[in-house]
């Protein structure tokens, strides 16, 4: 056995060191020219008009809901197969998250389930591009158009994604991104909102900065001028240090996606003859953010232990949000309310995936997975429900 196979390793290096060094010897550390530079280049990469840099994807979600007028008494439909940040932002905005079930093959939000969940109070839909594949944005756009709903994309997994000729941030009213430590672009923590509407972008720029009319960089220069507060905003802007970390990563972004795809294809090839493992159904061009597989129900937690014992780093993305204690207690949800997501969340397991992951390690992970499945068959079945 050689060393541990890490779940994720960032690839930051000399270019990022130099870029951050330049920022440290400049005037601005917080919201300044590097943020503006990153915003321009990130919007350009996605072919969108506006980008607003913020402190996290969680704050991007909250600010976006606020900017589009979602609040008290409103309902927002989203998928329970996501990170808790998606539906928590709806609660923080004062609205009610309403879940709609997922497609069993892809884990993506099912547009038919969204349509069935619409009520008079529905104001918005948040689609999540799970693992790096685009939700069915054409169907969701048409539905939201017809019913007068705001469509938000949680694109934390999906910068370099395309489906049916549609890219991330193309059809949504806004798309939100995460630059958290394990995401494909990272500044440790950070986020962005990408959108086409200028007025909404201006409102978002105020909301990330206490609702004041001018940011520090535009207040600087010449003599002091008063600012005013016109909105109740937050402290949630991206900083120049974060932008300096992100800017060099925009170079080579597609090459890193291609490298992840090579690893995903190797996993698929090696697992093709393993009947106990269900692969995620591919749709369009994936960003390959995570490589998740589905194992038989009741075996997942023992497989997870088995992989841990074999020095393979893994994660669960995700146990279905409606099965978590807060959501069960607050809304009285039972697993069977969203049965596809509940089952998917009991079966999914994310294997190591990053651009420089050695291909030999992919083979080692697959061997460890087979051994863990063998071992799991000899242990009693468990579910998250049954464990403390």
Ligand X SMILES: *Cc1c(COP(=O)(O)O)cnc(C)c1O
Tell the smallest beta-carbon distance from residue 157 to ligand X (Å).
6
Contacts for 122 with CB less than 8 Å, ≥ 6 apart? 74, 75, 76, 77, 98, 147, 149
Q: Does 157 bind ligand X (CB under 6 A)?
A: yes
- Taking the least distance from each CB to ligand X, the nearer of 83 and 354 is 83
Rounded distance, CA 309 to CA 379, Å? 15
By the 8 A CB rule, do 343 and 265 touch? no
Of 57, 76, 244, 314, the one binding ligand X by CB under 6 A: 57
Active site residue 183: yes
Check residue 106 for interaction with ligand X (CB under 6 A): no
**CB of residue 56 to ligand X, shortest distance in Å:** 3
Nearer to ligand X, 23 or 178 (CB): 178
Asked if 58 is part of the footprint of ligand X (rule: CB under 6 A), the reply reads yes
Query: Which residue matches tokens 């014992």?
Result: 309
- Residue 186 makes contact with ligand X by CB under 6 A: no
The residue count of the chain comes to 388
- β pairing state of 75-78 and 122-128: parallel
Span of 14-22, 50-58, 302-310, 331-339 interacting with ligand X by CB under 6 A = 50-58
End-to-end CA distance of the chain: 32
User: Buried b / exposed e across 178-189, counting CB within 10 Å, b at 16+?
Assistant: bbbeebbbbbeb
d(CA 28, CA 239): 9
7 belongs to the binding site for ligand X (CB under 6 A) = no
Pick one of 68, 180, 234, 333: the residue that binds ligand X (CB under 6 A).
Answer: 180
Q: Report the residue from 31, 62, 76, 85 that binds ligand X according to the rule CB under 6 A.
A: 85
Q: Is 348 in the site for ligand X (CB under 6 A)?
A: no
Q: State the catalytic residue, choosing from 66, 96, 123, 183.
A: 183
**CA–CA dist 173, 286 (Å, integer):** 21
Binding segment for ligand X (CB under 6 A), chosen from 53-61, 216-224, 336-344, 373-381, is: 53-61
Instruction: Find where tokens 């069915």 sit.
Output: 136
Give 105: exposed, middle or buried? Use CB within 10 Å, 0-12, 13-18, 19+. middle
- The CB-of-57 to ligand X minimum distance in angstroms stands at 3
Residues that bind ligand X (CB under 6 A): 56-58, 82-83, 85-86, 128, 154, 156-157, 178, 180, 191
- Residues annotated as catalytic (active site), given as ranges: 183
């Amino acid at each position: 056995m050689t060393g541990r196979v890490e779940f994720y390793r960032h690839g930051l290096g000399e270019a990022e060191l130099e870029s951050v060094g330049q920022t440290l010897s400049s005037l601005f550390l917080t919201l300044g020219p590097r943020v503006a530079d990153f915003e321009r280049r990130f919007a350009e990469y996605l072919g969108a008009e506006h980008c607003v840099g913020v402190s996290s994807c969680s704050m991007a979600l909250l600010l976006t809901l606020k900017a589009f007028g979602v609040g008290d008494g409103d309902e927002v439909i989203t998928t329970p197969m996501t990170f808790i940040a998606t539906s928590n932002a709806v609660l923080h905005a004062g609205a009610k998250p309403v879940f709609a079930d997922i497609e069993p093959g892809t884990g993506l939000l099912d547009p038919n389930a969204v349509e069935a969940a619409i009520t008079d109070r529905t104001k918005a839909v948040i689609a999540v591009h799970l693992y790096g594949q685009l939700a069915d944005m054409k169907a969701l756009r048409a539905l939201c158009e017809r019913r007068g709903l705001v469509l938000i994309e949680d694109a934390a997994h999906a910068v370099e994604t395309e489906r049916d000729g549609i890219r991330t941030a193309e059809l949504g009213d806004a798309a939100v991104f995460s630059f958290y430590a394990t995401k494909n672009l990272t500044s440790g923590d950070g986020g962005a909102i990408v959108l086409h509407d200028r007025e909404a972008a201006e409102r978002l720029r105020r909301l990330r900065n206490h609702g004041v009319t001018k940011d520090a960089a535009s207040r600087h220069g010449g003599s002091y001028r008063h600012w005013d507060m016109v909105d109740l905003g937050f402290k949630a802007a991206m900083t120049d240090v974060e932008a300096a970390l992100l800017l060099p990563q925009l170079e080579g972004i597609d090459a890193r996606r291609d490298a992840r795809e090579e690893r995903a294809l190797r996993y698929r090839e090696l697992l093709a003859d393993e009947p106990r493992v269900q692969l995620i159904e591919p749709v369009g061009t994936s960003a390959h953010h995570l490589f998740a597989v589905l194992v038989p129900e009741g075996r997942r937690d023992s497989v997870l232990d088995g992989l841990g014992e074999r020095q393979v780093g893994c994660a669960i993305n995700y146990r279905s949000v409606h099965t978590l204690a807060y959501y069960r207690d607050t809304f009285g949800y039972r697993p069977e309310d969203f049965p596809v997501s509940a089952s998917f969340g009991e079966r999914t397991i994310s294997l190591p995936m990053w651009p420089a992951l050695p291909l030999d390690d992919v083979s080692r992970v697959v061997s460890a997975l087979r051994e863990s499945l063998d071992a799991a068959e000899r242990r009693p079945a468990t579910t998250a429900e049954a464990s403390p």
